Structure 1
Amino acid sequence: MNYIKSQRSGSIMYLVVFLFSIITLSVYVLNVNKVYYQDMKTSIIYMMLGALLTILISNIIPQTNQSPVYRIISDIARILTPILIVWAGVTFISMRVESFGYIFGSNLEMGNEAAFDAGQQAIVGIVLFIVTWILSIIASFLKIGKK
């Protein structure tokens, strides 16, 4: 608990972004394994894992080393985090846009509970991606490290 109290707001925000990223990735994996979809793109998983790695890099380096080179690496990681999350989210949205038309806007999937369940879960995933995007962008502007 003392560790969290001694951190700046950016470090705490990145912890929140890290948790949201794990939740978002989990919802993505659950959604692409639904009976209706089954269309996993490993690139989204790699982008989200890259975002998790850049979050760790941007938070660990300021705790351990204050040299200018390491600060530059930390800053680059802070820039890459929202880029990777946005890229993964846009890719996921592009995978689902057409299916939303079939599921919610036509009679083709009328009465197909698996389709409606998968569509609703995809909407939850998109909302989580958007919240994670916003939080990661806010976190990138806050100071990180120890107080």
Structure 2
Amino acid sequence: MEFMKKQKFGFLANVVVAIMALVSLGFYISNVTSAYYQDMNVNVIIMMAGALVLLAASMFMPHIAQGVAAAIAVDLLRVGAAVLIILSGAVFIGMRVESFGYIFASNLELGNKAAFSAGTQAIVTIILFVVTWIFSLIASFIEIGEKRA
């Protein structure tokens, strides 16, 4: 607990982004393994895992290294994590756009409860991805490190 009290707000913001990224990833996995879709894209999982690694590195690097080069590296890690989160969400949206037309706007899937449920879950997942994008972009601009006495 003492460790958390010493951290600047940026550390907490990145912890929130990491938790939101994990939740988004969980919803993604749940959606792509549903009875209707079953179309997992490994690239999305790799990008989200990479984003989580970059977030972790950006949170703990200020405690290991000091100086201008370390500060630049931390900033690059945070921006890289945000970019990976955005790319993974964009790939997921691209996977679902066409199916929304079939599920919600045509008679082809009329009465198919599995399709409607999977489509609704995909919309929730897209919203989670977008909120995670926004938070990750905001967190990229908040300073990380320990509070100075």
Q: CA deviation at 1:68?
A: 3.1
Letter in 2 for 1:128: L
Q: CA deviation at 1:6?
A: 1.3
> Structure 1: where are the runs of 5+ without partners?
none
Letter in 1 for 2:43: S
> Structure 2: where are the runs of 5+ without partners?
none
Q: CA deviation at 1:73?
A: 2.0
Give 1:91's aligned residue.
91
C-alpha separation in 2, matches of 1:5 and 1:105: 51
Secondary structure of the 1:3 match is helix
> 1:72 and 2:72 equivalent?
yes
Letter in 2 for 1:82: A
| TM-score (norm. length: structure 1) | 0.97
Letter in 2 for 1:145: G
C-alpha separation in 1, matches of 2:116 and 2:73: 44
Give 1:100's aligned residue.
100
Q: CA deviation at 1:65?
A: 1.5
Misfit runs of 4+, over 6 Å: none
| TM-score (norm. length: structure 2) | 0.96
Q: CA deviation at 1:74?
A: 1.4
Give 2:47's aligned residue.
47
C-alpha separation in 2, matches of 1:146 and 1:67: 14
Letter in 2 for 1:73: A
Give 1:110's aligned residue.
110
Instruction: Quote the sequence identity (%).
Output: 49
Q: CA deviation at 1:2?
A: 2.2
Alignment RMSD: 0.9
C-alpha separation in 2, matches of 1:16 and 1:75: 17
